[in-house]
């Protein structure tokens, strides 16, 4: 991975961490950009004595929080803030998540917080989700073969690994020009589909890091 991208993620992570206040419960996302946010938040915990509780969306983000010195707790209680990364974001605020397989927990925490920040670098801002071309699903194992058969026109591919919650991960490949919201609605209506990776964001809450260390919003 290029150093420019790492600098951009670090800039977005620092901007996110700066918004966290003492006493907050914070949802911690999964992926490289979210990890940059965890690292930056850990620096504030160590250097400023910031008192927070992190709630992780995956085993990887839990491990990253421990390494960063962030105390973690269980989900359930409301959060004050949550942050995560993204695979692609279009001009309408439609966003695909789930390359890391954690989209179910990510949605739970996003909807538990009054503000959900998304950390990305510029390549993740796309003119159309067709540029990404993948919509992940989390499916109950018993239903996975049936779901794949019912969505055969979307070229489903099944990942080798399961999610942290033991769900089968199936990647759909909508055709160019497809209505992604309709595809997501169709998939989630099938018995056994727990969730999909399509989110709708507030663009003002998307933090786009750049290689010069600046952070902008696509709004």
The predicted pLDDT at position 1 comes to: 54
The pLDDT confidence band at residue 219, using thresholds 50, 70 and 90, is confident
Taking the alpha carbons at both ends of the chain, their separation in whole angstroms is 27
Residue entry with tokens 């966003």: 95
- pLDDT digit string, tens, across residues 180-209: 999 999 999 999 999 999 999 999 999 999
- pLDDT digit string, tens, across residues 33-62: 999 999 999 999 999 999 999 999 999 999
Q: Please state the rounded mean pLDDT for residues 27-37.
A: 96
The predicted pLDDT at position 11 comes to: 97
For residue 106, indicate whether it is catalytic. Answer: yes
Average pLDDT along the chain: 96
The predicted pLDDT at position 98 comes to: 95
The predicted pLDDT at position 2 comes to: 73
pTM greater than 0.95 (yes/no): no
Burial level of 114, CB count in 10 A (0-12/13-18/19+)?
A: exposed
The full set of domains in the chain, from first to last, is 3-123+199-211 (3.40.50.1360), 130-196 (3.30.70.260)
| Helix 3-17 and helix 32-48, axial crossing angle in degrees, nearest 10 | 50
- pLDDT digit string, tens, across residues 70-99: 999 999 889 999 999 999 999 999 999 999
- pLDDT digit string, tens, across residues 168-183: 999 999 999 999 999 9
Length of the chain in terms of residues written: 219
Which residue among 43, 59, 62, 106 is the active-site one? 106
């Amino acid at each position: 991975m290029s150093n420019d991208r790492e600098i951009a993620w670090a800039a977005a992570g620092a901007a996110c961490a700066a918004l966290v206040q003492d006493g907050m419960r914070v949802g911690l996302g999964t992926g490289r950009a979210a990890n940059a946010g965890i690292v930056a938040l850990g620096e504030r915990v160590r250097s400023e004595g910031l008192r927070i509780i992190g709630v992780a969306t995956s085993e990887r983000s839990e491990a990253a929080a421990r390494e960063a010195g962030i105390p973690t707790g269980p989900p359930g209680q409301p959060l004050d803030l949550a942050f995560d990364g993204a695979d692609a974001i279009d001009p309408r605020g439609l966003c695909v998540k789930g390359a890391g397989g954690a989209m179910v927990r990510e949605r739970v925490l996003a909807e538990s917080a009054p503000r959900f920040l998304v950390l990305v670098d510029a390549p993740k801002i796309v003119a159309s989700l067709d540029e990404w071309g993948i919509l992940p699903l989390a499916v109950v194992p018993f239903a996975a073969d049936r779901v794949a058969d019912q969505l055969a026109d979307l070229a489903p591919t099944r990942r080798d690994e399961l999610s942290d919650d033991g769900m089968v991960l199936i990647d759909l490949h909508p055709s160019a020009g497809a209505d992604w919201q309709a595809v997501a609605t169709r998939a989630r209506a099938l018995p056994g589909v727990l969730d999909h990776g399509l989110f709708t964001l507030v663009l003002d809450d998307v933090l786009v890091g750049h290689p010069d260390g600046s952070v902008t919003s696509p709004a």
